[in-house]
């Protein structure tokens, strides 16, 4: 998956109200996004903190906060900075923040399903049956929780 979808979510937060941002980033958390795009997740962590304080995360303010917290240092910081630049040049109205949050969550569910399947297959091939079963239960429960959140966001039964 390219970072386009996660960057679009970040871009939508620039124009959304703090309340909408908190709701959308409760649906798909920055920690969820980290599975797909860690640099954008760093930005969304800061956006969420700003929104919880009632601040509108305008690009200039987000940039200042990221700099103040040292999140632009090193190679990882360059990636974070590039995500902010990409988001600033992506025009997404704030009213679409829930749409993008739902789409990102769907990608997270898919990525987590693939990760779970890989872990289960590895245990089934190389581990004891009891270990494989425990991995199946643990990974299945994690995917199920994400699936239920996605279904709730879509307004359908899980």
Residue linked to tokens 């590895």: 122
Residues 29-74 have pLDDT tens digits of: 999 999 999 999 999 999 999 999 999 999 999 999 999 999 999 9
* pLDDT greater than 90 at residue 158: no
* Type and span of the H or E element at 75: helix 74-88
d(C-alpha 36, C-alpha 101), whole Å: 13
d(C-alpha 56, C-alpha 51), whole Å: 6
DSSP single-letter state for residue 89: T
The reply to whether the predicted model has a pTM over 0.85 is yes
User: Domain map of the chain by residue range?
Assistant: 4-154
Residues 98-129 have pLDDT tens digits of: 999 999 999 999 999 999 999 999 999 998 99
Is CATH 3.40.50.2020 the right assignment for the domain spanning 4-154? no
Q: Identify the burial level of 16 via C-beta atoms within 10 angstroms of its C-beta, where 0-12 means exposed, 13-18 middle and 19 or more buried.
A: buried
Q: Are 66 and 106 in contact (CB under 8 A)?
A: no
């Amino acid at each position: 998956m390219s970072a386009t979808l996660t960057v679009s979510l970040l871009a939508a937060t620039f124009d959304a109200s703090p309340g909408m941002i908190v709701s959308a980033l409760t649906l798909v958390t920055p920690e969820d996004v980290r599975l797909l795009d860690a640099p954008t997740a760093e930005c969304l962590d800061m956006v969420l903190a700003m929104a919880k304080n009632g601040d509108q995360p305008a690009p200039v303010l987000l940039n200042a906060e990221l700099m103040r917290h040292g999140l632009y240092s090193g190679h990882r910081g360059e990636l974070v900075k590039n995500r902010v630049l990409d988001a600033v040049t992506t025009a997404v109205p704030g009213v679409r923040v829930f749409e993008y949050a739902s789409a990102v969550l769907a990608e997270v569910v898919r990525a987590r399903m693939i990760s779970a399947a890989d872990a289960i297959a590895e245990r089934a091939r190389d581990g004891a049956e009891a270990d494989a079963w425990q991995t199946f239960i643990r990974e299945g429960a994690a995917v199920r929780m994400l699936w239920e959140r996605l279904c709730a966001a879509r307004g359908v039964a899980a």
